[in-house]
Structure formats: structure tokens, C-alpha cells
Structure 1
Amino acid sequence: MTFQILALSGGGYLGLFSAHILAQIEEQAKRPLGRCFDLICGTSIGGIIALGLANEVPAATILQAFESRGLEIFPQKPRWLGRLSDLIQFGFRPKYDGCALRRTIEDILGPATLLGEAKHRVLIPAVNMTEGKIQVFKTPHHVNFHLDHRKRMVDIAMATSAAPLYLPMAEIDDALYVDGGLYANAPDLCAIHEAEHFLNIPRGEISVLSIGTTTSSYSLPHSLGRNFGALEWITKQRIVATVMSAQQQLTDFMVKHQLGDRYLRLDKEQTEELARDLGMDKATDAARRTIKGIAQAVYQVNSTKPLLRSMLEHHAPEPNFHHGPRAAPQESANI
């Protein structure tokens, strides 16, 4: 029996890469993509997409929402003014207020939809800054998971997306949260652990489809020197790009060893030329078109691979939720 995981990395506006690929895969599957996977996980923009798929929102709808709202979420400034403004602003407040992002998420998920209303298992990493601990929001697919199902999906989506420097911290039940990408930008290992430890799935039965955001490789030339201070690391969000890249490389390396040919990673390294158009908050028309072209090419190369085709033929059993509106009657009566 195969247990299939869909893992979606974070990356801001570069999440359009994931959304484009998922829309094409869902069209290939000819049914809601959530029905092909036993567990869906995602971080930051990947978390927003994961929540949508877990609620059977069409991937094309999610894609269209972020394409049409990109400039509202990440308003652009003239290059010289933008860099100067960033350096000044980062010292006092985040770059964006997050209001347009929240409106977009509400359009996708609904303003009051609860995590317990998800149709498929999902897990979403974030960091609880009030407690100083990592937090993984989960559907109630284990008897001990009796809290998260009451939380609104939009609040969880804002928590996993609250990237330091870019967005304000999110608040849920008086606790403050920031982006889960600080420790799990590629959440594949979190999902494998979830399957093994909480769902008792043998590793030999686990398969993973992992989709990146073209952020898995980041490097710096010698010409920039070695003595970076805070301003140099903040410029062009170098520290964020470094953290994201290093995490994803580690995850990819480890999961390849753990799963072998039961692991498929769809991603694209940015070339120096592509990097001119792309960025986590570059919501320009050039970025949109470049991301679409890259995503189409990556999908075409992988669309006929046996692992992907077998994944799309898989029919995930309906999950057993222990709490919330989708719990079995006898269990929900004990809440």
C-alpha cells in the first residue's frame, strides 16, 4: 500500500512556479489533486497552496488569484528608490503590511473556514514566537491533535507566511507567529516524520512529490568581499535567500537517501540571467512570464515520469479525523 505525500516549498511570489506546475498536474489527473495524496504539506506560499488543495480548491484558481493580485501583495518601487527605502524601512518595520495577502487568502480559502473542515490531511509549519518554539499546524488526523482544527485556515496561512523583514508577525489566539521557512522551507522531512510517527506508515511505503520555487541554490561572488555587515546581508534579502537555499539542499539530500526512487523533486535552479527577473517579492510582468515559462518546461520534462504518473493514479482513502466537523459521530461527541 502506497502512502503519498505532496510537499510544497516556500518562496514568496516565486510560489507561482509551484502553482503553475500544480495546475498542469491537476489537469493531467482530471480530478482534485488532493485526492491523489494521503498527506499535503507546505510552508509559506507553499502552505497557502497546500491549504487550498486540502480544501479541493482548484490549483488553477489559486494560481489565478496570486497572478492577479501579485502587485497588490508586493507593490513595486523604482529600483534605486526601492533599495534605499528597503535599507531604511527594514530597520523599523516590515516591507509589506500583509493586508492584500490576507484578502487574497480569504478569496481562496474563505474568511472563516476552519482547519478541521479540510477534506484531506494537511500540515503547515510556522514558528510560535510567543513560546519560542516551532509549531506545525495539523488537521485532526491523530487522536491527540485536538486544538488546531478550531483555527481558521486564513490565520494559519498568514502565520506560515509571516516572513521576517517582509511581513508583520501573525497572531492566533494571542500568540505571535512567523514563517515556518525559518526551519522547514522545504517541509518534506516534517511530512515523512508525520507519516511514520503519527500515522504508523512504514518508510518503504512512502512516496513524495516535492515542488520547489526555484530557490534551492544561492551563492555569492568573491567580488563582493568577505566582510559583510547587517546592511550587506539585508541588501537583496541575501540572508533570507541563503537560509532558504541551504535548508532545501539539506532536505533534498536527506530525502533522496531515505526514499530513493520513491522521491521526485520538481524544481529549477536560477541562472544569473534568470535571477535578474526573479525574486521573492518581484511581482513584475517579466517575473510572471519568466516563472510561467520555467514551470511549463519543468512540467513537460517530468509529466511522463513513471513515479508522477503512478501518483496521479493513486486514490487516497478518505482521512479519519478524530475531532471537528469531519470527525466520526462518536468521536466528535467526545470533543
Structure 2
Amino acid sequence: MGLYTACILAEIEKEIDRPIASCFDLIAGTSVGGIIALGLAAEVEAAVIRNAIATDGPKIFSRKPPPQSALAKKVALASNALHAKYRASTLRSTIVDLVGETTTLGDLQHRVMVPAVNLTKGSPQVFKTDHHPNFQRDWKVSVVDVALATSAAPTFFPLHKIGGELFADGGLYANSPDHLALHEAEHFLDHDPEDVWILSIGTTTSRFSFSNSGETDLGWMGWMDNQRLPRVMISAQQLNTEYMMGHRLEARYLRIDHQQSPEQERQLALDAASEGAIRDLWALSESSIRDNLGKGPLRSFLKHTAPPAQFYNRKAS
């Protein structure tokens, strides 16, 4: 639910004593990471985002630990067979509290890009601030709408409509949007890849694998049991992105994440917001910060101050 990511960002921001967005020429995020990215681009304090996730998470998602028995899992799956598991109203209220009801991408002072899937067109769509002369489409779109579009995870939340178009979670194709950010920097911001550095913060990785002695003929219930399908999709995307980015940027790519233990996997479902899950995610973030904050690679990022971004559809103030 993004708490691990927000906790790390809050600690970094506390350390540098300035908006963390000022360290970066471009911010990217998908799903809950997209919500966080939009908040940072609006210069909402990372600690405020963290506290909102910790406080509102149990209202948005499930307060209960994931079901463990076979019967409880089947009951949970069957109860959500026809409709999305959650309503988006509480999530929307949280986003409005963070960034405001009427704020648009054109109001943001930091470049940001947020992937979603346009189901009306049947294609990926990346919402962007107007940081290139050709970007004429998104700057009038509300930040709330973009946040709800990128986080409309199938089976978890209803699809989100913007105008006459339907959107789903960008994590369907870009759960880790690092490669999209590199492409943006190279092709639209005219940066040589040799000069690009990327800090990527995960949400705690679950490297989901199957036992060779387990069931192989799985139907929808088997694939959704223990969130197998979304876990496999997310894990495969993350590992592929890390591998490719490591080749492209080498030491200029810093990934901060924590691999869940088998015991943690049982507590940290994709939508877990129980007291135990919140406590575990907070503790894991503290461990990751201790491992990275004093080291050279992260320090290099935090010394950088991005020059003011140029935008192309803003009225002179």
C-alpha cells in the first residue's frame, strides 16, 4: 500500500531538510507510487504522505490480516467475484486531502510522469506535466483523476473514468516505471544516458515462486489464491526492470527495496493494512534507511539540486 516507500522518502526529506522533489529533474511513479509521486511534485511533505497512508490505509484497504486457511481464502475470493474488492471513495478523499480538489498537472512545479492503462483506446498512457512543447494533452487534467487512474488496480478498485475514457492501474505494464523515466530523460529532456542517475524505491519485493510439487492446472481461483497472479506480474516486472536498468545505467542506478521473508509474505498482502502490516512495513523502511542513508550513492542524489523546470502551457504569473 506504499507505506514502505513513503516512510523512506520521509526519512530522506527529514535528513536533507528541503522538499525531496528539489533533488530530482523528473519524478515517476505507478499505482500508489503514482499517488506518492504526484504528492511530492505538489511539494506535499513526504511525512504528510506517509502519515496519510498509515492513518487512512485501514479505511481504504483491509484491516484484517490476509486469510490463511483454504476455506477462508475461497470465501474471500468468492465474495469479490462480481465486483471490485474496494470502493474508491475513501482513497479519493485521502488524495484530495493531500493535493486539493482542483489542482491540475499544470499547477505542479516539478516534472512528473504517471503511467496508466487507457482501456477505451486499448493502449498504455502516461500522464505528464507539460515539460515538453509537444505535451498538450494532460496539463488540464486534475491530479486527483490521474492518481485514481494509475491506482485503479483490477479486482481491487473500479475502473476510473476521465472524460469519456476508462483507465486502469499502470502497474499492468509499468509497475516499476524506471525504464519509462530513462526514456523520458533521454528523448524528451535531451539528457545523455551517461548523465542520468535514477533513484528507485520499491514497496518491498515478494519474489513469488511456485513449488515444483504443487498444483499446475490452475483456474482463476487458483491463480488468485494468495494473490498469485498479481504477485507474479509485479515480481517479474520488477526483476526485469532492475536487470535492464543495471545494464543501462550501472552504478548510476540505485534501487532501495527489501525482499519479504516467507513469514512477512503471509502478512503483507498487496492490500494489507492491518496493524501488524503497518508495523512491519514501517520497521522494514527503517532498516533500509539505515543500510543506505550514510552511503555514497544515495548521498550523491541528495546533493543534487534540480534547476527550475521549464513548462509550456502555463500562464505568466
TM range (shorter): over 0.9
What is aligned with 1:129? 119
Which of 236, 239, 244 is equivalent to 1:249? 239
Corresponding position: 1:311 with 2:311: no
CA distance, structure 1, for counterparts of residue 202 and residue 81 of structure 2: 30
What is the number of residues matched between the two proteins? 314
Quick one: structure 1 residues 199 and 258, their matched pair in 2 at CA, closer, same or farther if it must change by over 3 Å? Answer: same
What is aligned with 1:185? 175
Do the aligned residues in 2 keep the contact of 1:216 with 1:248 (CA within 8 Å)? no
TM-score (norm 2): 0.96
- Please give the per-residue CA displacement for 1:291-316, whole angstroms capped at 9, x wherever unaligned: 11111001110001212112111110
The Cα shift of 1:220 comes to 2.1
Do the aligned residues in 1 keep the contact of 2:104 with 2:140 (CA within 8 Å)? yes
- Please give the per-residue CA displacement for 1:92-142, whole angstroms capped at 9, x wherever unaligned: 111111111111111111111101111100000000000001000000000
Do the aligned residues in 2 keep the contact of 1:216 with 1:246 (CA within 8 Å)? no
- Structure 1 residue runs without a partner (length 5+): 1-12, 330-335
Quick one: structure 1 residues 57 and 315, their matched pair in 2 at CA, closer, same or farther if it must change by over 3 Å? Answer: same
CA distance, structure 2, for counterparts of residue 190 and residue 47 of structure 1: 13
The Cα shift of 1:215 comes to 2.5
The Cα shift of 1:227 comes to 1.2
Which of 62, 77, 93 is equivalent to 1:103? 93
CA distance, structure 2, for counterparts of residue 252 and residue 261 of structure 1: 12
The Cα shift of 1:91 comes to 2.4
CA distance, structure 1, for counterparts of residue 62 and residue 283 of structure 2: 23
1:27-176 superposed matches below 5 A: 27-76=14-63, 79=67, 83-176=73-166
- Please give the per-residue CA displacement for 1:157-181, whole angstroms capped at 9, x wherever unaligned: 0000000010000010110000000
Deviates more, 1:229-238 or 1:185-194: 229-238
CA distance, structure 1, for counterparts of residue 31 and residue 18 of structure 2: 25
Identity among equivalent pairs (%): 46
Secondary structure in 2 aligned to 1:150? coil
Which of 17, 24, 41 is equivalent to 2:4? 17
RMSD of Structure 2 on Structure 1 (CA) = 1.4
CA distance, structure 2, for counterparts of residue 299 and residue 77 of structure 1: 28
The Cα shift of 1:229 comes to 1.2
Do the aligned residues in 1 keep the contact of 2:64 with 2:272 (CA within 8 Å)? no
Secondary structure in 1 aligned to 2:102? coil
What is aligned with 2:278? 288
CA distance, structure 2, for counterparts of residue 146 and residue 52 of structure 1: 22
CA distance, structure 1, for counterparts of residue 258 and residue 270 of structure 2: 15
CA distance, structure 2, for counterparts of residue 33 and residue 141 of structure 1: 19
Secondary structure in 2 aligned to 1:209? strand
What is aligned with 2:292? 302
Deviates more, 1:223-232 or 1:64-73: 223-232
What is aligned with 1:262? 252
Deviates more, 1:213-222 or 1:23-32: 213-222
Secondary structure in 2 aligned to 1:236? helix
TM-score (norm 1): 0.91
CA distance, structure 2, for counterparts of residue 16 and residue 223 of structure 1: 35
Which of 264, 279, 294 is equivalent to 1:274? 264
Corresponding position: 1:220 with 2:210: yes
- Please give the per-residue CA displacement for 1:223-267, whole angstroms capped at 9, x wherever unaligned: 432111111001122101100100010000000000011110000
Letter matched to residue 19 of structure 1: A
CA distance, structure 1, for counterparts of residue 188 and residue 255 of structure 2: 24
Secondary structure in 2 aligned to 1:164? coil
Do the aligned residues in 2 keep the contact of 1:74 with 1:283 (CA within 8 Å)? yes
The Cα shift of 1:83 comes to 2.8
- Structure 2 residue runs without a partner (length 5+): none
Quick one: structure 1 residues 82 and 53, their matched pair in 2 at CA, closer, same or farther if it must change by over 3 Å? Answer: farther
The Cα shift of 1:143 comes to 0.5
Do the aligned residues in 1 keep the contact of 2:206 with 2:265 (CA within 8 Å)? no
Corresponding position: 1:196 with 2:179: no
Letter matched to residue 194 of structure 1: E
CA distance, structure 2, for counterparts of residue 218 and residue 225 of structure 1: 15
Which of 210, 223, 235 is equivalent to 1:233? 223
The Cα shift of 1:150 comes to 0.2
CA distance, structure 2, for counterparts of residue 195 and residue 43 of structure 1: 17
Quick one: structure 1 residues 107 and 82, their matched pair in 2 at CA, closer, same or farther if it must change by over 3 Å? Answer: farther
Do the aligned residues in 2 keep the contact of 1:127 with 1:177 (CA within 8 Å)? yes
The Cα shift of 1:221 comes to 2.1
The Cα shift of 1:46 comes to 0.3
